[in-house]
Amino acid sequence: MMGALPAIFAGNREQADDFIEQLKGYIRLNRLVHGMNLYIQRVALALTLIQGPLVAEWHKNVGEWIDGLTPNDNVPAVWDHFLDEFSTQFQDSQCSQRAMNELKALRMKWPLIDEYVNDFEKLVHLAGYTLGNQETMGFFLEGLPRSIAEAVLIPPVPIVTIIAREPHGLSFFPFSPCLSII
């Protein structure tokens, strides 16, 4: 087997999605290893990584379900059913609310601009907001230091197009009113 097994999942809902993604990655990496292409075996492997008092009853029930399956039942639906049941039982129902609260409290710390933008985009996604809408832009600006937010909010200098007559027709030149023409 290659790679490291995911950490034990003990029922912390905030870690449920990461656990499943790490488990899928481990299975993907080892898909050519004998047994990893068996869906019942995948569920059995997952159950060895799900331990603790918060998950004990669920673990027992899924284990009994797997024990009742036959080799003929080894179909993709077994794995899909396990993933659905895991999600139903352990999905983080407060994830979007927590992300929304973190988004509202997020503040950029100078000079970590890229980190702020990455954290902001991740939280927007988790909170279910859309990048670019008014509310989201407001959250972004609120998280910026005042000096940066003020600079961002300065309206751009208008560009005026000057039409000049040339021998072969008309030409258009962008012109900023701040510049002088000689």
Query: Per residue in 142-170, pLDDT tens?
Result: 888 877 777 777 777 666 655 555 666 55
- The answer to the question of residue 6 being in a domain is no
Full DSSP string of 10-44: -S-GGGHHHHHHHHHHHHHHTTTSTTTT-HHHHHH
Examine the domain organization and report whether 24 and 68 are in the same domain. yes
> Per the structure block, which two tokens stand in for 45?
């492997």
| Integer Cα distance of 172 and 163 in angstroms | 5
Instruction: Write down the pLDDT at residue 149.
Output: 72
Q: 83 and 99: one domain? A: no
The pTM score is 0.58
Q: What percent of the chain has pLDDT over 70?
A: 84
Count of H-run helices and E-run strands, the chain: 8, 2
Structural domains in the chain (count): 2
Indicate whether 4 belongs to any domain: no
Which domain range does residue 47 map to?
Answer: 13-90
If pLDDT is split at 50, 70 and 90, which confidence band does 137 have?
confident
> Is 7 inside a domain boundary?
no
Residues 100 and 140 in one domain: yes
- Same domain? For 70 and 99 the reply is no
Q: Which of 40-44, 101-105, 176-180 has the lowest mean pLDDT?
A: 176-180
Examine residue 176 and state whether it is found in any structural domain, yes or no. Answer: no
121 within some domain: yes
Is position 26 within any domain? Answer: yes
Residue 30: partners with Cβ closer than 8 Å, 6 or more residues away: 1, 2, 3, 36
